[in-house]
Amino acid sequence: AQSVSQHNHHVILSEAASLELGCNYSYGGTVNLFWYVQYPGQHLQLLLKYFSGDPLVKGIKGFEAEFIKSKFSFNLRKPSVQWSDTAEYFCAVNARDTDKLIFGTGTRLQVFP
Amino acid sequence: DVKVTQSSRYLVKRTGEKVFLECVQDMDHENMFWYRQDPGLGLRLIYFSYDVKMKEKGDIPEGYSVSREKKERFSLILESASTNQTSMYLCASSQRGEQFFGPGTRLTVL
C-alpha cells in the first residue's frame, strides 16, 4: 500500500533561518508529488507539484522541492523563512493513473520574528 | 480560479442526529473527495467519486455515506452522528492529478 512519511511533526525557526521539511513515500510505480500548505484559519492550498521533468520544482512564495527518485523523497526547502510562513505543511502523492491522494500527517511550522 | 464551496464553516450536532455536509465545485471536475482532518493524523480519505452516481470507499468510510446526483455536488452524510466524528471535514475536486480544496466544515458532535 502507498504511504507518505513526514519526519518532522513540529518545527520552530527564527525568521531568516533556512527550512527543509522531509517527505518520503512508498510506492513502486510512477507518481505525482505535491506539497500543500494550510495557513491558520485558511483552506488547504497547493504550494508546488511535480509530475515529470526537472526534479527541482519551484513553487509559490519562494518554496522549492527536489524529487530524488532513488530515495523516494520529495523534500521541501526555503532558504530564508518569514513569520508569514507559519502554517501546517502536507506532503502528498498519487499514482499516475489516479487522482486519489495519499497525505502525510503534516508538519507544523512556527516562525518567530 | 477553481472554487470549491462547503455549506457550513461550523456545525454543532447532537449524538444520533443525521448530518449532511454539502460540497459544490464550479470547474466541471469529474473527481470529488471527502476527507477528515485531525491533529497528528493528517488528512484521511473517507469517500471519493469519479463520476455522477459513482462512489468508492476511502480509508475510513465507516459511519459515513455519500451522494453524487449531479457532477458539481458531492454530499457527505453521517447517518447517526457520534462524538468520535467531531472533526474538520474537507471536500476537494480534481482533474489531472491536482486537488482543489474547500474551506472545510468544523463539525462538533455533542
Q: Phi first, then psi: what are they for B55, rounded to 5°?
A: -145, 150
* CA A84/CA A86 separation, integer angstroms: 5
Got the DSSP string for chain B?
A: ---EEES-SEEEE-TT--EEEEEEESS--SEEEEEEEETTTEEEEEEEESSTT--EE-S--TTEEEEEEETTEEEEEESS--GGG-EEEEEEEEETTEEEE---EEEEE-
**pLDDT for the residue numbered A41:** 87
B39-62 in b/e burial notation, b at 16+ Cβ within 10 A?
Answer: eeebbbbbbbbeeeeebeebeeee
Does any CB of chain B come closer than 8 Å to the CB of residue A29? no
Q: Which residues of B touch A99 (CB under 8 A)?
A: 31, 50, 94-97, 99
- Residues constituting chain B: 110
What band does A96 get if pLDDT is binned at 50, 70 and 90? low
Cβ neighbours of B58 in A, within 8 Å: 100
Q: What is the rounded average pLDDT of the residues A27-55?
A: 91
B69 alpha carbon, distance to own chain's centre: 15
A109/B106 Cα distance (integer angstroms) = 22
Contact residues, B window 69-108, toward A, CB-based 8 Å cutoff: 90, 94-104
B31-42 residue pLDDT tens: 999 999 998 889
The set of residues, in sequence order, having a beta carbon less than 8 Å from that of B69 and lying 6+ positions away, is: B52, B53
Inform me whether the C-beta atom of residue A46 falls under 8 Å from chain B C-beta atoms.
yes
Residue A98: pLDDT above 80? no
Record the cell numbers describing residue A24, joined without a space: 518520503
Helix (H, G, I), strand (E, B) or coil at B35: strand
Instruction: Give B1's pLDDT tier (boundaries 50, 70, 90).
Output: low
Residue B63: which pLDDT band, with cuts at 50, 70 and 90? very high
Mean pLDDT over the full length of chain B: 94
User: Would you place residue B2 in the very low, low, confident or very high pLDDT band (cuts 50, 70, 90)?
Assistant: low
Would you say A55 and A71 are in contact if contact means Cβ atoms under 8 Å apart?
no
Q: What is the mean pLDDT of residues A78-87?
A: 97
